[in-house]
Structure 1
Amino acid sequence: MRTQKTMKALFSALMLVLLAVMVAACGGGDKGASQQASGQAEQGKEASSGGEKKVLKVGTDAAYPPFEKQGPDSKPVGFDMDIIKAIAEVNGWELQIEHAGWDPLFEDIDKGKRDIGISAITINDERKQKYDFSDPYFDAFQLIMVPESANVTKIEDIKDMRVAVQSGTTGADLAEKVLGKGNPKLKGFDDTPSAVEELYAKRVDAVVADNAVLNDFLKTSGKEGYKVVKDPNVVPEQYGIMVKKGNKELLDEINKGLKTIKENGKYDEIYKQYFGEEKK
């Protein structure tokens, strides 16, 4: 009986040891599998995070063709839109482009509601005090649009005329210097198309605005009997892409993208599409 009991005891002990080993193995396997799954999930999360594009909010005043206007679906289209999209492609960005209006565009950049402003914005000392600008991407100058019969050859010739401008623009500043601040003959509008329509309706005698915009009106409006006049003494201007003051990281990325599209021919391709020739 003693031997039988001993064998039973040994057998029971052996079974307990085997059971303990199996439980440990199962537990260790579950832990290992869990750690592996967890690691794969983290790697997937990191890969997903790493693959996400930076989303930037872009504002414009979509009433300034050919630089920006509202397309058939009300989304902004034009030269500026194609330029910023080409820069975004270089940098791997995703853009949310919206029409903001002229004055609200500047306010949105101020308040951080938008990251980028692009809307044929002339770089000048006053604006540089509040905003940062990219390297120039377009050379512009002011033109005077008048009836063909008008005897206008220089900017001073409009001083006794009724003149329409888009408020807050360099064209408005130039006209104000000639006519004088507060002159009732100087009419400001929210956008350039409204100023030009005022000329067509003969409620003003001239419009002062950027060259590409007024030339576009002459080509596309279907209205005859009008001309544009360039005063060679008026200082040329340059457009820049605007960001919040101090946002150097974004500004550097914009300049990198702009430099790339100028070097790889994409800029010239876009320029020719809108202006019929490569930039000189």
Structure 2
Amino acid sequence: MTRLALLLTSFLLVASFGCTQKKEESTSSPAEKSSSKKELIVGTDAAYAPFESENADKTLSGFDIEIMQAVAAKAGLQIQIVNTPWEGLFNQLNSGDRDILISAITINEERKKSMDFSDPYFEAVQLIAVPNKSTVTKFEDLKKLKVGVQIGTTGDSVVTQLLGRDSSSIKRFEGTPLALQELINGGVDAVVADNGVINNFFANNPKNFKVLSDTSFSKEVYGIAVKKGNTELLQKINSGLSQIKADGTYDNIYRKYFGEKKN
């Protein structure tokens, strides 16, 4: 074999090995890769106090923030929690720009089609906020009223079912606190939202409003979301969640934001 032929053969072997190696390196799924990243990006919509909110210095605080930090510490995960608008939250997870989501996200069958959820970490129910002088006593009474909701939430969903998707009586906001502020200002007659947010808002704002429950509202649970198929990361999160529930960390955080748990 001539020197030129030897060189050519060597080149082809190196090129072939390089292609094979590159192909082998790409066999792991995007979901698996995200669980092995050194720092995981957690998305949250910080406009939902007391679950998550943004402080004046742009730092994030709230029940969800502390729960996620505690879970990560127990699971050995390095995380960075990033404020992410609700309307783009799920797309960010599916595209890989966010590895984890925690944002008072209700676990439901529709969402489970495109993402995986941890074990539940909070139980919620919808409430109705109205002025003290209002004659509203149940959900059905909202049919002829102007109702404020946060876009894309369970409150938005149930009010849409009651009033109709194209109803001009539904006023949608980027955050529940904005909807509640509009109620105070007289721009809407009622607001439907999760119990934790409504109760927290009126604990720190004018008291001339009342909060109503309705038997038609079913209980819901919140979960921490990861990309569909990322079982390794999900197992770590569930392990961390189990540990903080067992050692009292969860109860301490819950008590800080909601008082003593009611059985």
* TM-score when normalising by structure 2: 0.84
Q: 2:40 aligns with which of 38, 56, 65?
A: 56
In 2, the alpha carbon distance for the partners of 1:220 and 1:116 equals 30
Answer whether contact 1:75 1:99 (CA < 8 A) is retained: no
List aligned pairs for 1:68-79, cutoff 5 A. Answer: 68-79=52-63
In 1, the alpha carbon distance for the partners of 2:225 and 2:136 equals 34
SS at match of 1:59: strand
SS at match of 2:144: coil
Query: What residue number does 2:118 align with?
Result: 134
Query: What residue number does 2:220 align with?
Result: 237
Cα gap change, 1:273/1:250 in structure 2, threshold over 3 Å: closer, same or farther? same
Query: What residue number does 1:159 align with?
Result: 143
Q: 1:262 aligns with which of 245, 254, 257?
A: 245
Q: 1:90 aligns with which of 56, 70, 74?
A: 74
The Cα shift of 1:72 comes to 3.3
SS at match of 1:195: helix
SS at match of 2:107: coil
Amino acid at match of 2:176: T
Larger Rg: 1
The Cα shift of 1:53 comes to 9.0
In 1, the alpha carbon distance for the partners of 2:220 and 2:37 equals 34
SS at match of 1:183: coil
- Specify which structure has the bigger relative contact order, considering alpha-carbon pairs within 8 angstroms and separated by 6 or more residues: 2
Answer whether contact 1:59 1:99 (CA < 8 A) is retained: yes
Amino acid at match of 1:251: L
Q: Which deviations, in whole Å up to 9, do the C-alpha atoms of 1:170-192 show, x marking residues without a partner?
A: 11001111111110001111111
In 1, the alpha carbon distance for the partners of 2:152 and 2:256 equals 29
Q: Which deviations, in whole Å up to 9, do the C-alpha atoms of 1:103-152 show, x marking residues without a partner?
A: 12111101000110000000111111111111100000000010011122
In 2, the alpha carbon distance for the partners of 1:99 and 1:173 equals 24
The Cα shift of 1:278 comes to 3.4
List aligned pairs for 1:1-280, cutoff 5 A. Answer: 54-221=38-205, 223-278=206-261, 280=263
Q: Which deviations, in whole Å up to 9, do the C-alpha atoms of 1:49-100 show, x marking residues without a partner?
A: xxx9941101100010000001232121100000010011101222111101
In 1, the alpha carbon distance for the partners of 2:200 and 2:132 equals 17
In 2, the alpha carbon distance for the partners of 1:236 and 1:137 equals 13
Aligned length: 228
Give every structure 1 segment of 4 or more consecutive aligned residues whose post-TM-superposition deviation is greater than 4 Å: none
Q: Larger % of helix: which?
A: 1
In 1, the alpha carbon distance for the partners of 2:115 and 2:83 equals 19
Answer whether contact 1:87 1:258 (CA < 8 A) is retained: yes
Query: What residue number does 1:31 align with?
Result: none
Amino acid at match of 2:185: A
* TM-score when normalising by structure 1: 0.79
The gaps in structure 1 that reach 5 residues or longer are: 1-51
The Cα shift of 1:232 comes to 2.3
In 2, the alpha carbon distance for the partners of 1:265 and 1:73 equals 30
Query: What residue number does 1:24 align with?
Result: none
After superposition, the CA RMSD in angstroms is 1.4
In 2, the alpha carbon distance for the partners of 1:134 and 1:103 equals 21
In 2, the alpha carbon distance for the partners of 1:53 and 1:265 equals 29
The gaps in structure 2 that reach 5 residues or longer are: 1-35
In 2, the alpha carbon distance for the partners of 1:90 and 1:269 equals 15
